[in-house]
Structure 1
Amino acid sequence: MNPILLRSRRGLTVTAGLALLTAVALTASLTSASGQESLATSSPTGPMELPDEWMTAQRLSDGSTELSTAKYAKARGEANQLAAHTRSVYRNLAERDWSFFGPTNIGGRVVDIAVDPQVEDQVFIAAASGGIWKSSNAGATFTTAWPDSSGQSMGAVAMTSNGVLFAGTGEPQPGGGSITFGGDGIYRSKDRGATWKHVGLKDSHAIARFAIDPSNEDRIFAAATGNLFVPGGERGVYLSEDGGDSWRQVLAAPNDTTGATEVVIDPSNPARMYAAMWDHRREPHQRTYGGPGSSLWRSDNGGQTWQRMTNGLPTDADQGRWGLAVAPSNPQRLYAYVGTALGPFRAFYRSDDGGDTWTQTPVTAGQASQSTFSWWFGKLAVDPKDHNHVFLTGVSLMRSTNGAQSFSSVSGPHADQHVLRWDPKKPNRAYLGNDGGFYRSDNNGASGWVKSTYEPYTQFYTVDVAETDPALRVGGAQDNGCNRGYNGRGGAWNAIGCGDGLQVIIHPENPNIVFGCSQYGSCYRSENAGGTPRQSISTGQTVSDRRNWLTPLQFDPSDPNVMYYAGNIVNRSTDNGRTWKAISPDLTGGGPNDPSGYPWGTVSTIAAAPTDGNKLYVGTDDGRLWWTDDLGQNWNRVDQAQLPGTWVTRVAVHPKDKNIAYATFSGFRSGSDRPHVMVTTDGGRTWTDIGRGLPDAPVNSVVPTADGLLLVGTDVGVYVSGWNGGEWAALGADLPNAAVMYMRYHEPTRQLSVASFGRGIYDLTVPRCPAASTKLPLRAPGVGVVGALASCRAG
């Protein structure tokens, strides 16, 4: 498979820094590494991949220049306060149970693996935004080993020989189809994940790797990558000499945008160790993923002093992320590779004298399988028994048996590799983590890769349920396509096409009719529950100049044969998605102001009134709201002075009144009065903030119920209020702390299903609150309705 085309699951790329290149969309029909069909778009023109800009740009649309751990810590603190208030005042809301629906067989990005040195067949993994997981059967199935209430973003996991476990929070891969969340340092567990204690490096943002001194396991090294957005903080290599109780920096970053991504100890001489440093920074309209700080280092005195290795290695500034590994059977043999600052693979190097000198090997970009984003990988693994047998992470898993003179791809695993480990207790057993989850090989990694059968840490963008049977569900998953869960709670899900899975919806009257979308609006229509044959809804069949990463595709609730699709122009179908006609002008500001940034200027959400098919509301990524009363003959723009100006994540219309609608917004308030939730009661003419009292975090979804409740999903939980807002309560107490990206409410059964980004699909039965349905006048922001939620009872 062409790795450039496979990368299409991430979508378009544009330039960073001073380069101003044009992003070109290519549409292709592919088969992914996992065997599923995909519809995709690709353009390898530079280092800034727009898919990761989608979630990042939403959260920076408030004018911020960074997404800090501190912002999320503050929002989670507010969420905890609201949850505590709910428990004391509205216990019936707080004690609602969230139930995990699935999937268990899809998986998601695994970034690190720790093999238990004492317990047979036991391994621990770090899921990118899903916490730490444990398997006691060699990875066949996993159970959680991390608190649901803690931040779920992970970068590293390691274990001492006597079973002490370390977790490094924050993902060091800076996006790849999605946002990667930061963390708050290092945690330690002395009971194999049953309980955890925070032990340091709170300002590290992301931990990329641990190295434990085999001669003294109280000596633990951590590679701190640093904040992706803000220079400074805790960066470089840190050492604990008391088993993790305290940490001190032993290798400082060359500059304030450089962090450590690798630290390795010579197993035959623990006084000798190596580190990889990476110079990188993400800004609102550009990313710089390389520079003079990217480099390789060696210490010969246990980390007390370090020297940069340069003999045979490049010393210019065009260096991106380095991968580095030592051969356990011959520690004089080192391997390293580096990308360019723009992202493509640059060169592979080998040392046979412990790093004194280096020689470039003949490995080509095609053999390396790095595509345009070498910064997404950055890891090497050497067979513990054969110093010539080395694996290189990339889109495909690449393997060399001749000391990195050449590489060939290994068949079987899902695309995008992140970590490979051998089990010292089992000859020839290797474990692999990639964007598709966890794999095991008992043929030394050369072949025979078997995927885990139970790994419930999928990153979902969307979820839908069948109106005819809410046990039937579909969803779009980051790097794992469109998926169908028609086998009940806990049952197997089936891949039903797509590259990245985005909007996936089920016909309201016929669950065999399913629509699925890849990135940038490459969609299909299936009359076989998402299976083949599929009718393509290509970008050529609809009218638009630009399309959102998650292009909205929706049914008209008053007529299931009517559908809406939008890029920067709204398209309508009256024959259930077979043909389309434009019904609007460009509803955006006209596209990106900066060609090196996210391609602003797309419709991000559409909603038709259930009681009147002529009434539509539309929101855009550049903060605009529109409405029409006559099916697009006339479009009315909401006065921008009424709105926060941030990304409109969702609009929803009142189930009984076409003139009442809700809009939710991304971004943070950042000390301003910027709203997260707004309502109109006059058909869109005027809007009022009703989100006061919610945690200051992006709101991603909103649902008004028919009997008076308003439900919102945020980056830090799900909340409930009356129709007119004002007083908010946490809904349920046991939903894992992963961002809720999308919600789907099934009115007949009161089932609320949510798509979490890292922990799969959950659902809950929404209680009834008779007092909330009382039609009340709007109030001043933050003023609640006494008793509106207190009357909630089980349905």
Structure 2
Amino acid sequence: MGFTQQRATPASNVQADLRKKQQLAATSLVKNLPLKNIGPNIMSGRVADIEVNPDNPTEFYVGYASGGLWHTKNNGTSFTPIMDNAETINIGDIAVDWNLGTIWVGTGENISSRSSYAGTGLLKSADGGKTWQNMGLTDAHHFGRILIDPNNADHIVVGVTGHLYTPNLERGIYKTTDGGTTWQQTLFINETTGIIDVAATPSNFNTLYAAAWQKDRKAWDFTGNGNASGIYKSTDAGLTWKKLSTPESGLPTGQAVGRIGLAVYDDRTVYAVHDSQFRRPATPRENTDATALQKTDFKTMSKADVKALSNKQLNAFLKSNRFPKQYTAEKVKQMISQGVIEPEDIYRYLTNPNATSYDTEVVGAEVYRSDDGGTTWTRRNKDYIDDLFYSYGYVFAQVRVDANNKNKIYLLGVPIIKSDDGGKTYTSIQKENVHVDHHSLWVNPNTPGHLINGNDGGVNISYDDGETWIKNNSESVGTFFAINVDDQEPYNVYGGLQDNGVWMGPHDAEMDRRWQQTGHHPWKGIAGGDGMQIQIDSRNPHIIYTGSQFGYYSRIDLENDERTFIRPKHQLGESPYRFNWESPILLSTHNQDILYFGTNKLMRSMNQGNDWTPISPDLTAGGKKGNVPYGTLTTISESPLQFGLLYTGSDDGLVQLSKNGGGSWLNITDGLPKNLWVSTVLASSHKKERIYVALSGYRNDDFTTYLHTSENYGQTWQPIASNMPNAPVNVIIEDPLNQSLLFVGTDNGLYVSLNRGASWEVMQNGMPNVAVHDLVIQPKAKHLIVGTHGRSIYKVAIAALQQMDAELLKKEVHVFALEDIKHSPNWGNRWSQWMESNTPEQPITIYTARASTLDIAIKATDGTLVNTMQLRSEIGLNRVPYNLSFSKKGLHAFLRKNKMKLTAAKNGKTYLPKGVYEVGVRNDGKIATVAFKIK
């Protein structure tokens, strides 16, 4: 039906939608509704780059991959966000002209991860981040490196990595000599090869080196290497380039050349670290037990060979490979002899059928050095550099050299390691308070041993060359995949973080530094790995279901500190299940012993995950060959109105329905855009036949907003994106009280609809343009919890929104119900002169149908006017903070009628005593009132 966009979204469309969002934000009915960041700030997020003031290293900038740009002038003791007003906060690289104070940001992360968000171009600020100007390269999507000529601030050289998922022309090397007004592409290799790193000779900006990287990422496969990868050199400040990677140079060439990082010591000495995808030569199997079985043995065994194995030997193999307990040696031999399975099925049981298999592992990290300005190179490491890149060197491949010692280098990988002999041998400087996965390192050229490091867990500083580190995590820049809440009082918020596990904490905890004095942070980690989805037993909040990537989930008993591994396992003889990176799980609202788990089939457990039964056939299109699991379920929903009314969505675009608990299934994808990632499928809690679906084209660089609903179990679909600016959609939820109230999280922010998708409002007061990955409503507190992938978690009170039906929206003025408040004799006072006063606040929320001047009166029950305010309202919601104090005139009037003694507080204000009060709001003769109690 023409829904699916077959190519990447044009940059002009992206820019138009950014302007559209700005206009919508300015007129949003909810723009005055504040979102509060509730942390956690103890666990940070992925750092993309660090830029340090060379004359004052206590001042530096930190660019987070999807968390914005932060500035410190006190050595990382505190940070200030300076990019929150920009069109995006996704960062690949930053550069600073410290003489002029000009900041350049290449938007769009450069590690090519499955959650690396595209940018909108090259941004520039000349006023410390107060304002940002887009200087072009808007179709670059991802930036590798920005270099500023130290002798000419208008001369900039930029390495552009290009699109993550699709070919494009705007990649390679670009340079400007007029401060970004115009750009010249001086190196273009092909549509799938970009520049991941650029390095200048310290004393001569004319001599530059660039690392080209050819890659091909799909949702089902990632090839991070290619013939076009290699090193280039320029001797005219990036105007022309010569390829250094030739067979005669000593550098690796060919299809298996992966990501390369560069570091230049002087005009002769250059280092390169290479993520080599060449295969290691086969070596004899090393095993202390020569009789120990390997899974590959079963590829060639006959039935007689298996029968001849000793039961002890076969049982040891089955146990070490975590076969279910029912598969004993005797049972397996019996199944083979009866023809139920073949010997090769044992190999297949342990093998991903869609993964590309190799006989040997890759070479991995290797270091090359040139001592003649890049003409010839030698590999420095004689031995393999194991346990540095593991299987994902495409995330790392960066090297740094000490400016005062050409033999001292640092390699960034899963750990951070250093060499004092030019890369021949290495020692680790990965310490107990340093997170793994390193992406940026600054080496002080003036103070030996002073390092500032950025990794997946934030920022660390060392003054003794990595022997000890300071951890500088005080910002809420967490990268959440999924969130949830429980029903405790106060309720807890749970969230799964990229590479930082699963955390939980009370929603009302203050994110300050008090925990450093007490040793107890209110948020605590409860699981490791890449934190994923969370389900909480409503009968017992200590029972949590959660885990890490690719379905490695457990049932956790927090009270007794017990963990039970619950990942479903296929039967011997069946094809292995396929698990999505973020495998979906769901506790049935009808029975909290019933847990659903999405593989390529829908699994159901009737006993809290102890045992599993598939209740569906393969609900995907069947997967594709590649090294990334694909053809997997991504989302599950069960109707709160009917047990067994189930929906699933897959990464390859299928939406399926069962009305009988998995007894039969119906593909209801017709009428929806094709071949997209199903982000959310949601069964309505208001109408049994209603369903919502959100799809994402992110993995095609398609940034269209895909939102649909059905009123008849998916027989027909209606688009409801309406006026929403285009951005991939991650989540849609509906309010449990108001069926017209919907919330949507996209890769560039949060939206709300008051009319079931007929129109949408931007909802980001206090939150920058960050990816919103998950949303959940705490029904008792009437809070919306917002899980972002870059700025941790936000909370917003939505009681007013829940009341905003069609009738209310017609009113000239409406004042919403106020919560009662407990009186305190300490209002306006402070414990000492060095502390701030304890001041109460009763926020008054008002809706007006048009902009006007409102007169607000607060009266006591006897009619005494105790205080007045005025507000210039805007269309939509307005909030007025009221501090519960008397005006001078109001105090005199109240005391004349009431014989009581009221004492002014130390701050000079007199506060209302216990009692009932009325707030009246007048708008051109229309009056709305509401009462509240001071208890």
TM-score tier by shorter-chain length is 0.7 to 0.9
- Structure 1 residues 768, 386: CA separation in 2 closer, same or farther (over 3 Å shift)? same
Deviates more, 1:704-713 or 1:273-282: 273-282
Give the whole-Å Cα distance in 1 for the aligned partners of 2:700 and 2:609.
Answer: 41
- Structure 1 residues 365, 749: CA separation in 2 closer, same or farther (over 3 Å shift)? same
1:619 aligns with 2:639: no
Give the counterpart letter for 1:743 in structure 2.
Answer: L
Give the whole-Å Cα distance in 1 for the aligned partners of 2:459 and 2:443.
Answer: 13
1:220 is aligned, of 145, 152, 156, to 156
Deviation at 1:792, TM superposition (A): 7.4
Residue matched to 1:273:
208
8 Å CA contact retained: 1:165, 1:190: yes
Residue matched to 1:53:
none
1:141 aligns with 2:78: yes
RMSD: 3.4
Deviation at 1:199, TM superposition (A): 3.0
Deviation at 1:579, TM superposition (A): 3.7
Give the counterpart letter for 1:472 in structure 2.
Answer: N
Give the counterpart letter for 1:258 in structure 2.
Answer: T
Deviation at 1:229, TM superposition (A): 4.3
Residue matched to 2:263:
325
Give the whole-Å Cα distance in 2 for the aligned partners of 1:82 and 1:535.
Answer: 48
Residue matched to 1:27:
none
8 Å CA contact retained: 2:119, 2:141: yes
1:507 is aligned, of 521, 526, 537, to 537
- Structure 1 residues 497, 220: CA separation in 2 closer, same or farther (over 3 Å shift)? same
Question: Could you give the per-residue CA deviations for residues 620-677 of structure 1, whole angstroms, max 9, x where no partner exists?
Answer: 33333333343333434436246756332222233343333322222389999x9833
Give the counterpart letter for 2:118 in structure 1.
Answer: G
Question: Could you give the per-residue CA deviations for residues 132-190 of structure 1, whole angstroms, max 9, x where no partner exists?
Answer: 111223224322121244212111112224152433323353533x2322223322333
1:397 aligns with 2:416: yes
Deviation at 1:501, TM superposition (A): 1.0
Aligned residue for 1:79, secondary structure, equals helix
1:768 aligns with 2:808: no
8 Å CA contact retained: 1:471, 1:489: no
* Structure 2 stretches lacking a partner, 5+ long: 279-361, 512-520, 808-848, 850-874, 880-929, 931-935
2:738 is aligned, of 707, 713, 717, to 707
Question: Could you give the per-residue CA deviations for residues 268-296 of structure 1, whole angstroms, max 9, x where no partner exists?
Answer: 34443322222334456655433343222
Residue matched to 1:312:
250
8 Å CA contact retained: 1:68, 1:227: no
- Structure 1 residues 359, 385: CA separation in 2 closer, same or farther (over 3 Å shift)? same
Matched positions, count: 709
8 Å CA contact retained: 2:65, 2:109: no
- Structure 1 residues 667, 211: CA separation in 2 closer, same or farther (over 3 Å shift)? closer
1:297 aligns with 2:232: yes
Give the counterpart letter for 2:482 in structure 1.
Answer: T
Deviates more, 1:408-417 or 1:435-444: 408-417
- Structure 1 residues 510, 119: CA separation in 2 closer, same or farther (over 3 Å shift)? farther
1:434 is aligned, of 455, 462, 467, to 455
Deviates more, 1:546-555 or 1:133-142: 133-142
Deviation at 1:497, TM superposition (A): 1.8
Residue matched to 1:41:
none
Deviation at 1:742, TM superposition (A): 0.9
Give the whole-Å Cα distance in 1 for the aligned partners of 2:455 and 2:444.
Answer: 17
Deviation at 1:749, TM superposition (A): 1.8
8 Å CA contact retained: 2:658, 2:665: yes
Give the whole-Å Cα distance in 2 for the aligned partners of 1:751 and 1:110.
Answer: 30
2:784 is aligned, of 742, 747, 752, to 752
Q: Which has the higher contact order (CA 8 A, sep 6+)?
A: 1
8 Å CA contact retained: 1:541, 1:579: no
8 Å CA contact retained: 2:401, 2:408: yes
Residue matched to 1:128:
65
1:335 aligns with 2:271: yes
Deviation at 1:713, TM superposition (A): 1.8
- Structure 1 residues 644, 352: CA separation in 2 closer, same or farther (over 3 Å shift)? closer
Aligned residue for 2:805, secondary structure, equals helix
Give the whole-Å Cα distance in 2 for the aligned partners of 1:728 and 1:347.
Answer: 52
Give the counterpart letter for 2:615 in structure 1.
Answer: I
8 Å CA contact retained: 1:253, 1:260: no
1:444 aligns with 2:465: yes
8 Å CA contact retained: 2:273, 2:368: yes
Aligned residue for 2:593, secondary structure, equals strand
Residue matched to 1:195:
131
8 Å CA contact retained: 1:75, 1:716: no
Question: Could you give the per-residue CA deviations for residues 758-795 of structure 1, whole angstroms, max 9, x where no partner exists?
Answer: 12111211223546389xxxxxxxxxxxx9xx997989
1:263 is aligned, of 175, 198, 205, to 198
Give the whole-Å Cα distance in 2 for the aligned partners of 1:370 and 1:670.
Answer: 27
2:373 is aligned, of 335, 351, 354, to 354
Give the whole-Å Cα distance in 2 for the aligned partners of 1:67 and 1:791.
Answer: 33
8 Å CA contact retained: 1:66, 1:283: no
Superposition TM-score, scaled by structure 1 size: 0.81
1:539 aligns with 2:568: yes
Give the counterpart letter for 1:534 in structure 2.
Answer: R
Give the whole-Å Cα distance in 1 for the aligned partners of 2:243 and 2:698.
Answer: 41
Give the whole-Å Cα distance in 1 for the aligned partners of 2:165 and 2:665.
Answer: 39
Give the counterpart letter for 2:549 in structure 1.
Answer: Q
Residue matched to 1:419:
440
Aligned residue for 1:111, secondary structure, equals strand
- Structure 1 residues 214, 648: CA separation in 2 closer, same or farther (over 3 Å shift)? closer
Residue matched to 2:355:
none
1:153 aligns with 2:174: no
1:586 aligns with 2:618: yes
Aligned residue for 1:370, secondary structure, equals coil
Aligned residue for 2:421, secondary structure, equals coil
Of structures 1 and 2, the larger Rg is shown by 2
Deviation at 1:588, TM superposition (A): 2.8
Give the counterpart letter for 1:106 in structure 2.
Answer: M
Give the whole-Å Cα distance in 2 for the aligned partners of 1:745 and 1:560.
Answer: 19
Give the whole-Å Cα distance in 1 for the aligned partners of 2:459 and 2:593.
Answer: 41
* Structure 1 stretches lacking a partner, 5+ long: 1-60, 775-786
Give the whole-Å Cα distance in 1 for the aligned partners of 2:174 and 2:471.
Answer: 34
- Structure 1 residues 682, 187: CA separation in 2 closer, same or farther (over 3 Å shift)? closer
Aligned residue for 1:676, secondary structure, equals strand
Give the whole-Å Cα distance in 2 for the aligned partners of 1:734 and 1:168.
Answer: 22
- Structure 1 residues 282, 305: CA separation in 2 closer, same or farther (over 3 Å shift)? same
Deviation at 1:558, TM superposition (A): 3.2
Give the whole-Å Cα distance in 2 for the aligned partners of 1:299 and 1:621.
Answer: 43
Deviates more, 1:281-290 or 1:295-304: 281-290
Residue matched to 2:592:
560
8 Å CA contact retained: 1:611, 1:655: yes
1:384 is aligned, of 382, 403, 422, to 403
- Structure 1 residues 197, 424: CA separation in 2 closer, same or farther (over 3 Å shift)? farther
Question: Could you give the per-residue CA deviations for residues 474-506 of structure 1, whole angstroms, max 9, x where no partner exists?
Answer: 111112221222472426532222311111233
Give the whole-Å Cα distance in 2 for the aligned partners of 1:630 and 1:229.
Answer: 39
Question: Could you give the per-residue CA deviations for residues 673-732 of structure 1, whole angstroms, max 9, x where no partner exists?
Answer: x98333333455544333333333332222221223122222232222246432322234
1:185 aligns with 2:121: yes
Question: Could you give the per-residue CA deviations for residues 90-111 of structure 1, whole angstroms, max 9, x where no partner exists?
Answer: 3xx2221111111212111112
8 Å CA contact retained: 1:68, 1:229: no
Give the counterpart letter for 2:562 in structure 1.
Answer: P
Residue matched to 1:522:
552
1:740 is aligned, of 755, 760, 772, to 772
- Structure 1 residues 99, 148: CA separation in 2 closer, same or farther (over 3 Å shift)? farther
Residue matched to 2:825:
none
8 Å CA contact retained: 2:454, 2:460: yes
Give the whole-Å Cα distance in 2 for the aligned partners of 1:220 and 1:575.
Answer: 62
8 Å CA contact retained: 2:52, 2:60: yes
Question: Could you give the per-residue CA deviations for residues 588-629 of structure 1, whole angstroms, max 9, x where no partner exists?
Answer: 33x21x313754432222222223334333333333333334
